[in-house]
A and B are shown apart, each in its own frame.
Chain A
Amino acid sequence: QTESGPTPEKPLVMRYAHMNVANSPNGLQAQYFADRIAEETGGAIKIEVYPGSQLGTITEMAEMVSQGSVALHHNTYGGLQPLLEDLGLFDTPYLYRDVDHLLKATDPETSPVLKELNQKLIDSRNVRVLYSFYFGTRDLTANSAVYAPKDLSGKKIRAIPSAIYMAAVEGMGAVAVPVDWAEVPVALSTGVANGQENPVSVLVSNKLYDVQKFLMLTHHIMGSEPVVINESVWQKLSDEHKQVFTKVAKETRDWASNYVQDSEASDLQILADKGMTIIGPEQGLKVDEFRASVNKVVEQRFGAKWGAYYEQIRAIK
């Protein structure tokens, strides 16, 4: 359209930085997004993906998007808290009914909560949430069988050092210990931590079945990851390109969310084959007790500041 717009010969290059391994579900969706954008714009927009924290730590990448040295980035909602504290509420334990509810609640175009917070994020940090995709549900693993919160008393569970994740682990009845991710397998085998919590895909890709005997399907946090874009970069796009981005964003969200759900089933099978004992409700896991005790802690710590948002999210049909 305009004579100054990017062309396949002189493409507009954007850097997309993230923390995951290139061939992990999260890494694949970033590449999928980049490839589809290149296709749809006929090569006029080229997205270079930098996986594996090559360009910086998690917090740092979020700030880089804000400053513009990186155009695109995905993270957990909790990971974006340094930019906007309230975004952490989307990682609240036991908040969503199912994946569909989660995707609706974290859709930047339709979710009333995210619409409000996204505007704040744009105004204060020059960062826009483009789309969110489902990246898995967090479950608990430990070196002993756990059926109810009381089984976790005194047990050290590795937790992400952030208030909302600590609340989940402490709410389940355990002692939360921060351990650097690279050290987790060794920490679990030496006993620095007795357990950890992550989506099943992480257990498979990091071979945690070697150091953990029991997997408890607590499903305590259902996670969605926001893909964010620098607002100046977004505003400089032509209307046509904005439409392409919006379209590809929806497509990538669906692709990624389906991909993750499909692999969850097969990952669970792999873990069983590797000899992990899987404890779900049928094996006597008291999910209701976990939910009740976690909700109590959540209410205590976050009820006052996020209670109204929680209501709005629960009201989403």
Chain B
Amino acid sequence: MSGGMIILLFLVLIATGLPIAVSMGVPAAIYLLVQGIPISVMIQRMVASLNSFPLLAVPLFILAAGLMNNSGITSRLFEFAKLLVGRLKGGLAQVNIVASLIFAGISGAALADVGGLGNIEIDAMTEQNYPKDASAAITAASAVVGPIFPPSIPLIIYGAAAETSSMRLLMAGVFPALVIVALLMMQVSYFAHKRNYPRGVEGKFSRKEVLHTIRRGLPSMLMPVMLMGGMLSGYFSPTEVAAITVTYALILSAIYKELSWKEFLKVCRETLRSTASVLFIVASAAIFAWTLTVEQLPQQVSALLLNITENPAVLLLLANIVLLIAGMFLETTAALMVLTPILLPPLMAAGVDPVHFGVVMVFNLMIGMITPPVGMSVYMLSPIVKLPVGKIFRAVTPYLVTLAISLVILTYIPQVSLWLPNLLFNN
């Protein structure tokens, strides 16, 4: 049973609608039986892959996002973003992007942005008569920034898979996120003038309004600063940041008095469900990747790629193509676990920095969240805006062009990612 057959069987199973985790586990199980390898390795690998310190961040970040969305923190962030860019033409579309960036500074979970913040953003935009598909499209496109800007679960998981410092990775995400946001804002501004979008806020804010919004939003706004500062000065590690976020969200909920005990338990239950569905896939991906490793697939791919070329620019192009396709079909965490050991060695051999590639990889997979056929962001938005997924996918297309441009920039100007971590960690 070769590596190719294992992957083929996985693709067939996944197409039947079998849970992704099971679709990875079944070929692995068959492989072990065929090869006569003790099957104990299956459960050992699954358990050991979860028995990992970096993964502790997964439930904690999801919990934190749930708490923020249910305790008024998210809506305060939105008001604050309105203060910053609301008066521009197409103001609420710009607010949508800026709010996502601020939220990204607190949240480490992909998609956390769409559920809570997305609702608020789309409601506000609908009130100003934005077409629903346009609101959904900008919400989906801006949510991509979430796991690029620190903190970030996907970057931490990549760090564990690549045995690379997650601190460096997180800091490497800062400027790329800003580049993406800047390009998206330029595009929205162009649309706003062409399609004559309204200003988000007419007239000036009164002094009182400004102070009020700042006072309400300040505790939440301080959070990204605090998290970043705490990590950089060594008070807590990238994984532990998640626990700090939960604590802070709990404290703010207590102050705002917007979260009841019953709601808290509800958030916990939702956290457990998303955590388990993602991590069950992670565990299965671990044994799936193990069988591919034993079949020496990573070495074969590596040799194949390096045979084609040793030019890092060309290799990065090939890696981007593979990742974009993978991102269209695969769940992010599983893709990170399976593809990192396959793609990283040839790239490193060609001189690509693993930190730089981590940012590129995660960005690719995030783009996959808003592309058909499997675009989880769009699937989540569809019931919120009550539009068929196809219509949202079409509305997202122009933003894909911008994101593709950002991807080219991030891929071929490694300094955008590497400058900050190199500056901070004297290298």
Binding site for B on A (CB under 8 A): 15, 48, 50, 52-57, 59-60, 63-64, 67-69, 179-183, 185-187, 189-192, 207, 210-211
* Residue in contact with A63 in the complex, picked from B37, B44, B424, B426, CB distance below 8 Å: B44
Binding site for A on B (CB under 8 A): 37-38, 40-41, 44-45, 48, 51, 53-54, 159-160, 163-168, 231-234, 237, 290, 293-294, 296, 298, 341, 424-427
State whether B166 touches A187 (Cβ < 8 A).
no
Cβ-Cβ contact count across A and B, 8 Å cutoff: 76
Distance from A196 Cβ to chain B, minimum over Cβ atoms (Å): 14
Chain B residues contacting A181 (CB-CB under 8 Å) are: 163
Chain B residues contacting A189 (CB-CB under 8 Å) are: 424-426
* Contacts A60-B48, A64-B44, A190-B234; A55 near B165 (Cβ below 8 A): no
Chain A residues contacting B160 (CB-CB under 8 Å) are: 182
State whether B41 touches A183 (Cβ < 8 A).
no
Chain A residues contacting B290 (CB-CB under 8 Å) are: 55-56
Residue of B nearest to A193 (CB): B234
Chain A residues contacting B53 (CB-CB under 8 Å) are: 180
What is the interface of chain A mostly: helix, strand, loop, or mixed?
A: mixed
Chain B residues contacting A179 (CB-CB under 8 Å) are: 237
Chain B residues contacting A57 (CB-CB under 8 Å) are: 48, 51
Question: A182 vs B426: C-alpha distance in the bound complex, in angstroms?
Answer: 16
Question: A13 vs B48: C-alpha distance in the bound complex, in angstroms?
Answer: 25
State whether A55 touches B294 (Cβ < 8 A).
yes
State whether A210 touches B427 (Cβ < 8 A).
yes
Chain A residues contacting B41 (CB-CB under 8 Å) are: 64, 67, 69
Residue of B nearest to A66 (CB): B40
* Residue in contact with B168 in the complex, picked from A186, A191, A192, CB distance below 8 Å: A186
State whether B163 touches A55 (Cβ < 8 A).
no
* Contacts A50-B293, A64-B41, A180-B53; A185 near B165 (Cβ below 8 A): yes
Which among A59, A60, A207 has the highest number of chain B CB atoms within 10 Å? A60
State whether B341 touches A54 (Cβ < 8 A).
yes
State whether A210 touches B426 (Cβ < 8 A).
yes
State whether A182 touches B165 (Cβ < 8 A).
yes
* Residue in contact with B237 in the complex, picked from A48, A64, A183, CB distance below 8 Å: A183
Question: A27 vs B53: C-alpha distance in the bound complex, in angstroms?
Answer: 26
Distance from B239 Cβ to chain A, minimum over Cβ atoms (Å): 9
Residue of B nearest to A53 (CB): B163
Which among B40, B54, B160, B164 has the highest number of chain A CB atoms within 10 Å? B40
Which among A52, A59, A180, A191 has the highest number of chain B CB atoms within 10 Å? A180
Question: A67 vs B40: C-alpha distance in the bound complex, in angstroms?
Answer: 7
Which 7 A-B pairs give the minimum distances between C-beta atoms?
Answer: A69-B41, A190-B234, A186-B167, A192-B234, A191-B234, A67-B40, A60-B48
Question: A150 vs B290: C-alpha distance in the bound complex, in angstroms?
Answer: 47
Chain A residues contacting B426 (CB-CB under 8 Å) are: 189, 210-211
State whether B425 touches A183 (Cβ < 8 A).
no
State whether B165 touches A186 (Cβ < 8 A).
yes
Distance from B385 Cβ to chain A, minimum over Cβ atoms (Å): 41
State whether B294 touches A67 (Cβ < 8 A).
no
State whether B48 touches A69 (Cβ < 8 A).
no
Chain B residues contacting A59 (CB-CB under 8 Å) are: 48
Question: A15 vs B294: C-alpha distance in the bound complex, in angstroms?
Answer: 8
Distance from A53 Cβ to chain B, minimum over Cβ atoms (Å): 8
Chain A residues contacting B427 (CB-CB under 8 Å) are: 207, 210
Question: A30 vs B146: C-alpha distance in the bound complex, in angstroms?
Answer: 43
Question: A15 vs B164: C-alpha distance in the bound complex, in angstroms?
Answer: 26
* Contacts A55-B293, A69-B41, A191-B233; A186 near B425 (Cβ below 8 A): yes
